Protein backbone atom coordinates (compact mmCIF):
# COMPACT_ATOMS: atom_id res chain seq x y z
CA UNK A 1 0.00 0.00 0.00
CA UNK A 2 1.11 3.53 -0.77
CA UNK A 3 0.14 6.49 1.38
CA UNK A 4 -0.73 9.65 -0.49
CA UNK A 5 -1.13 12.96 1.26
CA UNK A 6 -2.68 16.25 0.18
CA UNK A 7 -0.48 19.10 1.27
CA UNK A 8 -0.21 22.77 0.41
CA UNK A 9 1.64 21.99 -2.84
CA UNK A 10 -0.69 19.24 -4.06
CA UNK A 11 -0.80 15.47 -3.69
CA UNK A 12 2.39 13.54 -3.00
CA UNK A 13 3.52 10.07 -1.96
CA UNK A 14 4.26 9.85 1.76
CA UNK A 15 6.93 7.16 2.20
CA UNK A 16 7.19 7.76 5.97
CA UNK A 17 3.46 7.56 6.64
CA UNK A 18 3.75 10.59 8.92
CA UNK A 19 3.53 13.61 6.65
CA UNK A 20 1.02 16.26 7.72
CA UNK A 21 -2.12 16.67 5.67
CA UNK A 22 -5.08 14.60 4.65
CA UNK A 23 -3.91 11.09 3.74
CA UNK A 24 -5.24 8.04 1.94
CA UNK A 25 -3.88 4.62 0.99
CA UNK A 26 -3.86 3.01 -2.44
CA UNK A 27 -2.40 -0.32 -3.55
CA UNK A 28 0.62 -0.39 -5.88
CA UNK A 29 -1.23 -2.26 -8.63
CA UNK A 30 -1.63 -0.05 -11.74
CA UNK A 31 -5.21 -1.30 -12.10
CA UNK A 32 -6.04 0.18 -8.67
CA UNK A 33 -4.74 3.55 -9.81
CA UNK A 34 -6.85 3.48 -12.97
CA UNK A 35 -10.00 2.58 -11.03
CA UNK A 36 -9.31 5.24 -8.38
CA UNK A 37 -8.86 7.88 -11.08
CA UNK A 38 -11.96 6.83 -13.00
CA UNK A 39 -14.23 6.63 -9.95
CA UNK A 40 -12.62 9.64 -8.23
CA UNK A 41 -12.39 7.65 -5.02
CA UNK A 42 -9.00 9.07 -4.11
CA UNK A 43 -10.29 12.59 -4.65
CA UNK A 44 -13.12 11.91 -2.21
CA UNK A 45 -10.73 10.39 0.33
CA UNK A 46 -8.33 13.33 0.09
CA UNK A 47 -11.09 15.91 0.16
CA UNK A 48 -10.57 17.63 -3.17
CA UNK A 49 -9.73 17.33 -6.84
CA UNK A 50 -6.44 15.92 -8.09
CA UNK A 51 -4.91 17.65 -11.09
CA UNK A 52 -4.19 15.51 -14.16
CA UNK A 53 -0.48 16.37 -13.90
CA UNK A 54 -0.43 15.05 -10.33
CA UNK A 55 -2.09 11.77 -11.42
CA UNK A 56 0.49 11.28 -14.16
CA UNK A 57 3.43 12.14 -11.91
CA UNK A 58 2.24 9.94 -9.03
CA UNK A 59 1.30 6.94 -11.15
CA UNK A 60 4.58 7.09 -13.10
CA UNK A 61 6.55 7.18 -9.86
CA UNK A 62 4.63 4.27 -8.39
CA UNK A 63 4.97 2.19 -11.56
CA UNK A 64 8.72 2.79 -11.56
CA UNK A 65 9.03 1.77 -7.91
CA UNK A 66 6.95 -1.38 -8.49
CA UNK A 67 9.14 -2.38 -11.43
CA UNK A 68 12.29 -1.70 -9.43
CA UNK A 69 11.16 -3.87 -6.53
CA UNK A 70 9.68 -6.71 -8.58
CA UNK A 71 11.46 -10.04 -8.50
CA UNK A 72 12.30 -11.23 -11.99
CA UNK A 73 12.59 -15.04 -12.26
> What is the domain range of residue 62?
2-69
Q: What three-state secondary structure class fits 73? A: coil
Residue 73 clears pLDDT 80, i.e. is over it: no
pTM given for the model: 0.78
Query: 12: Cβ–Cβ under 8 A, 6 or more apart, which residues?
Result: 4, 5, 19, 58
Task: Give pLDDT tens digits for 9-59.
Answer: 889 988 899 999 999 999 988 889 889 999 999 999 999 999 988 888 888
Our count of domains for the chain comes to 1
**Domain holding 8: CATH number?**
3.30.1230.10
- Confidence at 64, pLDDT banded by 50, 70, 90: low
Amino acid sequence: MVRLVRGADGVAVDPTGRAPGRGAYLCRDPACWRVAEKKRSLERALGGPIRREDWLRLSAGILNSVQATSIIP
